[in-house]
Amino acid sequence: MQKIIVIGGGIGGLAFANLAAKAGNHVTLLEKNERLGGVANLFSAQTEKGTFTFDMGPSWYLMPDVFQNYFDLLDEKVEEHLDLVRLDPSYRIFFQGKDRSIDFYSDLERDIPTFESMEPGVEPKLREYLEKSEYQYEIALRGFMYKNYDTVFDFFNKQVATEGRELEVFSKMSNYVSKFFKTDEVQKVMQYTLVFLGSSPYNTPALYNIMSHIDFNMGVFYPQGGIHEIPQTLAKIGEKLGVKYETNASVAQIKTARGPKVKGVVLDDGREFEADVVVSNAPIHHTEAMLPKPYRDHSARYWDKRTLAPSALIMYLGVSEKLPSLTHHNLLFSPDWKTNFAEIFDKPCWPTAPSLYICAPSKTDPNVAPEGCENLFILVPIAARTTYTQEELEQQADRMLGIIEKEMNCPNLREKLLYKRVYCVEDFKADYNKLGGSALGLAHTMNQTAILRPNNVSKKVDGLFYVGGDTNPGIGMPIQLISAELAFKRLVGDKSAGHLEKL
């Protein structure tokens, strides 16, 4: 039974706090913002027609099996906390410059005719690709994603030598996908999920083809009330388990004793909290800045050289009428995939012909917008570390809305706005201490995956652990639940490879 401080109330921090409290520890969670949830935040806007409620960050509920695994550990049932709706269609894709849209349903028999219309004769290859994707997903979940790594020998072991060969660790997604599919459109469909990982298909290990199994075989869901229902649920469970929460509690310093060993934390307002263990859900570079330089695992130069996942130009829009051309999830693909990714990762600039995403939760949830209105969350991936003036930001936002009007059949959208808020790089820095204003953290490149990603335990300070997207397994809302379990395994010294059956 230890006294544990969790820094940051994102999904990873909330999830870890529950596991640690369930195991009998005294847990206090400190969150710098006024609301728990991290980037899974929300806000409301009042207009002449009524109230719009916006999820500010994640919007896709994927990997329901991982949520089930996590809730099982807490002896809780997902369905007793979340009212999940399976989306039908899962999403709609628009191709820039082509006057058509395509729906996908996460139902292979329904989706095959669509794929055949895009690439005649593709069905056998599609089935082979998805069967392999499912097999690799099961391997990854069973033997890799729930395992902590300390040395290359933890990764390159007998299991990797046998099952791991199937995971396509050393080839790139772009090359792997092109072995199965010939048309540009189908290749894009199979690679768009890499945006969830903040990566480019030209520099992401092909093992992430497992995302296609998650997409096409498992389905896409939405919790009624919005994604913020997830952190709210985690906090309610935590309260039941005895977790104490402090919001508006920004940590300035991690205190250490001789060893060095964690001793506690000091807040910006001078308050102190003692602890045997500190687990940080804040970005690792920000957490290390709370330590004396000799106790940091990484230098400023290390962080400067990291490949960051994209930032985003986000717009939260309240629209005065329904938009029939959109469904719940909508994707617009750039006609020039390579140039678009290069403008994000290689030669950063505002995208000339962007890919972008629109979530319209009001298609599924009547409570997020006034009757007859539409709630839109628009995300345009842009390069992290992008600089801009407020005038330039507004100009780019207006340009994106013009593209949406033309390419996604939303005529006169700008004239129908009851509410508009723009959110970008500097906001991610200010609200969540994100390195370079990235929306997600460290990208999943070949050099930032598995053992090459920052570890979830400090090498220099005993009792300091990490949970979140900067460490393993990486980026993604369900992945944060796995990250929480990995941090808990560190706490109790569990070196097993699979999901825990019990605490």
Domain presence at residue 454:
yes
Let me know: does 385 contact 443? Beta carbons within 8 Å.
no
Distance of alpha carbon 253 from its chain centroid, rounded?
27
- What's residue 90's pLDDT? 97
Return the closest-CA partner of residue 342 out of 302, 385, 373, 382.
382
| Distance of alpha carbon 439 from alpha carbon 453, whole angstroms | 18
What is the DSSP track for 6-43?
Answer: EE--BHHHHHHHHHHHHTT-EEEEE-SSSSSBTTS-EE
Domain presence at residue 240:
yes
Q: For the whole prediction, is pTM greater than 0.75?
A: yes
Domain presence at residue 28:
yes
Let me know: does 473 contact 145? Beta carbons within 8 Å.
yes
What are the angstrom distances between the C-alpha of 46 and each of 156, 362, 371, 420?
Answer: 55, 16, 14, 11
Positions in the chain short of pLDDT 50: none
- What's residue 170's pLDDT? 61
Domain presence at residue 34:
yes
Respond yes or no on whether the N-terminal peptide bond of residue 260 is cis (omega within 30° of 0). yes
Domain presence at residue 413:
no
| Distance of alpha carbon 13 from alpha carbon 348, whole angstroms | 32
- Exposure class string for 453-486: b at 16+ Cβ within 10 A, else e: bbbbbbeebebbbbbbbbbbbbbbbbbbbbbbbb
Tens digits of residue pLDDT in 438-490 = 999 999 887 888 788 999 999 999 999 999 999 999 999 999 999 999 999 99
3-state secondary structure of 72: helix
Helix ranges restricted to H, 119-228: 123-143, 152-155, 158-162, 173-180, 184-191, 210-216
Structural domain count of the chain = 1
The DSSP call for residue 454 is P
Let me know: does 47 contact 362? Beta carbons within 8 Å.
no
Q: What are phi and psi of 98, to 5 degrees?
A: -125, 130
Domain presence at residue 177:
no
Token representation of residue 127: 């089935």
| Distance of alpha carbon 188 from alpha carbon 441, whole angstroms | 23
Tens digits of residue pLDDT in 352-382 = 999 999 999 999 999 999 999 999 999 999 9
Sheet holding 261-267, edge to edge: 251-257, 261-267, 272-274
Domain presence at residue 400:
no
Beta carbons within 8 Å of 351's beta carbon, 6+ residues apart: 334, 340, 343, 344, 380, 381, 382
Q: Across the strands, what pairs with 316?
A: 377, 421
Domain presence at residue 151:
no
- Exposure class string for 51-66: b at 16+ Cβ within 10 A, else e: ebbbbbbbbbbbbbeb
Residue holding tokens 């529950």? Answer: 18
Domain coverage including residue 26: 3-40+65-81+225-306+446-492
Let me know: does 288 contact 297? Beta carbons within 8 Å.
yes
| Distance of alpha carbon 25 from alpha carbon 465, whole angstroms | 15
What are the angstrom distances between the C-alpha of 356 and each of 13, 174, 340, 359?
Answer: 29, 20, 11, 10
CATH assignment of the domain containing 73? 3.50.50.60
- What's residue 195's pLDDT? 75
Token representation of residue 208: 């992430």
